[in-house]
Amino acid sequence: MPIFTTGDGHEIYYKDWGKGPVVTFSHGWPLSSDAWSIQMQFLAEQGYRCIAHDRRGHGKSAQTSGRNDMDGYADDLAELFSALDLQDIVMVGHSTGGGEVARYIGRHGTKRVKKAVLLGAVPPVMVQSEANPEGLPIAVFDGLRRDILKNRSQFYKDFAIPFYGANREGADVPQSLLGEFWLISMQAGLKNAHDCIKAFSETDFTDDLKKFDVPTLIVHGEDDQIVPIADSAYKSARLVSGAQTIFYPGLPHGLTATHADRFNADLLAFLRS
């Protein structure tokens, strides 16, 4: 398996498909690089080198006891880029992975980065506070922590439904896709998934976004039930200088699977622009 060992001694798994300009993919919670398979296959066929890792504690990577936070995730990504000597990267991040991309740029800059894509991404900050009254109450995230400790298998089955918008009238989401979400999610370590909730919900990426100095595309489904667009993409678009935006009416959080052809075409157009 393609793996590299982090500075703190943990093995991180990654996929490396195709040849050409480099596109990296950071996945959402509580998934793995498998969530990007459709996009990676598509872009590899279009002449791109596609690299996606399993975040520490997720997928095939080591289930670590520490550094399950955005700084740790960003530093792991920096070590991967260094290990593979990647240059002129287009970084793509979905949901929690969008936070990972933002924190990477905030901590490590854009020396290796050519462009960035934030899709259904958690920045600038999800949790409600006096400074962010539009955010989601902390009780929402406390509920996630409670439910994965109580019965994570059932939680992931339930969570897949709003993730893909399967609870909307007229939705055509196959049971097999919901089952795939459960299967991938169950590979994440319990502690890692639990710790990651704090990372994606309470981290403030405002200063990270202000450091973006590369062409950036912000993409979001307007019916995202997991990361509401009003408190994420709309705000991020104002913080990232010159950001381009694509907001899909009626589309869900997991649109990379439910509307893959549409997203793939828009992603390819941005890569070629």
Encoded amino acid at 7, one letter: G
**Cβ(236)–Cβ(122) under 8 Å?**
no
Three-class SS of residue 26? strand
Write down the catalytic residue from 61, 95, 185, 236.
95
| 224 catalytic residue (yes or no) | yes
Q: Three-state SS across 89-103?
A: EEEEEECHHHHHHHH
Write down the catalytic residue from 10, 94, 194, 253.
253
| 261 catalytic residue (yes or no) | no
Please give the Cα distance from 118 to 245 (Å, whole number): 10
Three-class SS of residue 151? helix
Encoded amino acid at 8, one letter: D
Write down the catalytic residue from 10, 224, 231, 236.
224
State how far Cα 31 lies from the chain centre: 9
First and final CA of the chain: distance in angstroms? 34
Kindly state the tokens that stand for 11. 């093995």
Please give the Cα distance from 21 to 44 (Å, whole number): 10
| 220 catalytic residue (yes or no) | no
- Residues annotated as catalytic (active site), given as ranges: 95, 224, 253
